[in-house]
Amino acid sequence: MSAEDLRKRYEAAFMPNYGVPPLALVAGQGSVVWDAGGKEYLDLIAGIAVSSLGHAHEELGEAVSNQVMSLAHTSNLFINEQEVVLAEKLRELLGGEGRVFLANSGTEANECALKLAIKYGKANGRTYFVAAENGFHGRSMGALSLTGKQAIREPFGPFAIDVRFVPYGDADALREAVTDECAAVFLEPAQGEAGVVPPPDGYFAAVREICDATGALFVADEIQSAIGRTGAWFAHQHEGVRPDILTLAKGLGGGLPIGACIGFGPYGELFAKGDHGSTFGGSPVASAAALTVLWTIEKENLLDHVTAVGTLLKDGLAGIDHPLLAGVRGRGLWLAAVLAPGAGPAVEAAAREAGFLVNAVQPDAIRIAPPLILTREQAQSFVDAFPAILDAALNANTDGNTDANTDADAAALKED
């Protein structure tokens, strides 16, 4: 079936919240994908930082297939071995501590964290929450209440909880906002949907100190940043601090839907029987996939690989002199090329035309979050191609070509 036929059928069958995506992808291998017309692309999006091991990974496929043919689903009424081993492995990677709840997505992991924080707050007379301006924690009503992007919050308010927003990275503003009446602070180690915006050095240490001083819980949303994405298992480990509650998803399943909420110390024991649940959370199949991801990262030493290839990408892109490129930010294989105002959609479209998939996550930034197995040669090929991509985007804007921008804007709507 042609790509145009698929686009028409997609538009007729689905709600219009995503617009119509510009490509129909039909196959992948490693860090490469092919569209319905047979064109090849280097995938520098990885399903929004999801496909940690790339596409058609043999061991991941075997683990999922074997588990489906053995036991595909149990619900939470029964124990399955895969979920237990996965929870134990996550605890091991976090220093042997924490109690785990397994869900199906990042939004659900954050809903779990919010319920834990609400229960803590009610027991201790704490009435409000603090989160960051431009932060993103999900689109369900609880997670959306913590999301500081006004364009997607305002149409669905008012919300059931009191959330106060502060500028991201401003420790003084956070210190002023958090009192002994604050139940929890929800923050990302870097703001993914805002354009991979990192905080100043020492910010997470300051957050930890502020929460310790006031008794507020520190919740780290690592939906995008964890599972090796920044060259560490979890991004908060770069600053040597530990949150009270940690949320994970995306790269954990390597392409299968999974989320996790992990509470440390007494905050992992706040729920009583019946307080929370999930029919599909802890699925044997998703858990088998997640274990394969974790074991493969260890076996292939991908944390060091991510650091090395990420440095190559970041330094190579930063060394390009072009009027559309203002800089590069991020860490590991979670980067953003910062662009001239409004250039993001045109650069995304030009990259796609050149055979590279990137994401115009903001009008002035493209997000680069490839599979963790991206090779040095593949990374260098993008660096080498980027000047011509920027030239093409500049020419497209100069010529007033808006069709490609419309497609890229639609793709940019696809968030967690």
Average pLDDT, the chain: 95
Structure pTM? 0.94
Instruction: Encode pLDDT of 293-308 as tens digits.
Output: 999 999 999 999 999 9
Does the pLDDT value for residue 360 go beyond 50?
A: yes
Torsion angles phi and psi, residue 329, rounded to 5? -135, 160
Is 222 annotated in a binding site? The answer is: yes
Residue 128 resides in a domain:
yes
220 secondary structure, DSSP code: E
Q: Are 52 and 100 contained in the same domain?
A: no
Q: How confident is the model at residue 403 (pLDDT cuts 50, 70, 90)?
A: very low
Only one residue has tokens 């601090």, namely: 241
Has residue 416 got a pLDDT over 70?
Answer: no
Strand order in the sheet with 259-263: 99-103, 259-263, 245-248, 217-221, 182-187, 128-132, 162-166
Residue 224 counted as an annotated binding residue = yes
Q: How many domains does the chain have?
A: 2
Phi-psi region of 254 (alpha: psi -120 to 50; beta: other; left: phi over 0): left
Same-domain pairing of 182 and 171:
yes
Of 176, 119, 106, the closest CA to residue 146 belongs to 106
Whether residue 342 sits in one domain with residue 288: no
Parallel, antiparallel or unpaired: strands 334-339 and 325-331: antiparallel
Quick one: three-class SS letters along 323-370? CCEEEEEEECCEEEEEECCCCHHHHHHHHHHCCEECEEEECCEEEECC
Residues 290 and 337 both lie in one domain: no
Is residue 416 domain-resident? Answer: no
Is 408 within a domain? no
Looking at 255, 278, 300, the residue that finishes a domain is: 300
Q: Is 4 exposed, middle or buried (0-12, 13-18, 19+ CB in 10 A)?
A: exposed
Mean pLDDT of 25-29: 97
Question: Is 139 annotated as belonging to a binding site?
Answer: yes
Question: Averaged over 344-365, what is the pLDDT?
Answer: 98
Percent of the chain residues topping a pLDDT of 90: 94
User: Are 203 and 321 in the same domain?
Assistant: no
Rg (CA), the chain: 21
Q: What is the pLDDT of residues 163-214, one digit of tens each?
A: 999 999 999 999 999 999 999 999 999 999 999 999 999 999 999 999 999 9
106 annotated among ligand-binding-site residues: yes
Q: 168-183: buried (b, 16+ CB within 10 Å) or exposed (e) per residue? A: bbbbebbbebbeeebb
Supply φ then ψ for residue 220, to 5 degrees. -100, 115
Residue 40 and residue 184 share a domain = no
Pair (49, 13) in one structural domain? yes
63 torsion bin: left (phi>0), alpha (psi -120 to 50), beta (else): alpha
Answer yes or no: do 175 and 28 share one domain: no
295 in the same domain as 351: no
Q: Is residue 245 part of a domain?
A: yes
User: Tokens representing 259?
Assistant: 């989320």
Find, among 18, 17, 40, the residue nearest to 27 by Cα. Answer: 40
In a domain, 406, yes or no: no
Are residues 190 and 279 both part of a single domain?
Answer: yes
Structure confidence at residue 400 (pLDDT): 55
CA distances to 3, 16, 90, 408 from 20, rounded to whole Å, are 12, 8, 37, 10
Please, where are the H alpha helices in 184-273? 203-214
Edge-to-edge order in the sheet of strand 32-35: 25-29, 32-35, 40-43, 356-357
Kindly state the average pLDDT of the residues 101-118. Answer: 98
Range(s) of the domain holding residue 385: 3-56+301-400
State yes or no: 275 annotated in a binding site.
no
- Residue length of the chain: 416
pLDDT of 245 strictly over 50: yes
* pLDDT tens column, 249-282: 999 999 999 999 999 999 999 999 999 999 999 9
Strands in 202-257 per DSSP E: 217-221, 245-248
Q: What is the CATH number of the domain that holds 270?
A: 3.40.640.10
Q: Over the range 293-313, which residues count as b (16 or more CB within 10 Å of their CB) and which as e?
A: bbebbeeeebbebbbebbebb
Please identify, among 233, 265, 300, the residue that sits at the C-terminal boundary of a domain. 300
Q: Are residues 295 and 311 in the same domain?
A: no
In a domain, 206, yes or no: yes
Q: Is 107 annotated as a binding residue?
A: yes
282 lies in the same domain as 349? no
Question: Which CATH number belongs to the domain containing residue 21 in this structure?
Answer: 3.90.1150.10
* 375 is a domain residue: yes
Q: Of 300, 329, 352, at which residue does a domain stop?
A: 300
221 labelled ligand-binding: yes
For residue 278, is it within any domain?
Answer: yes
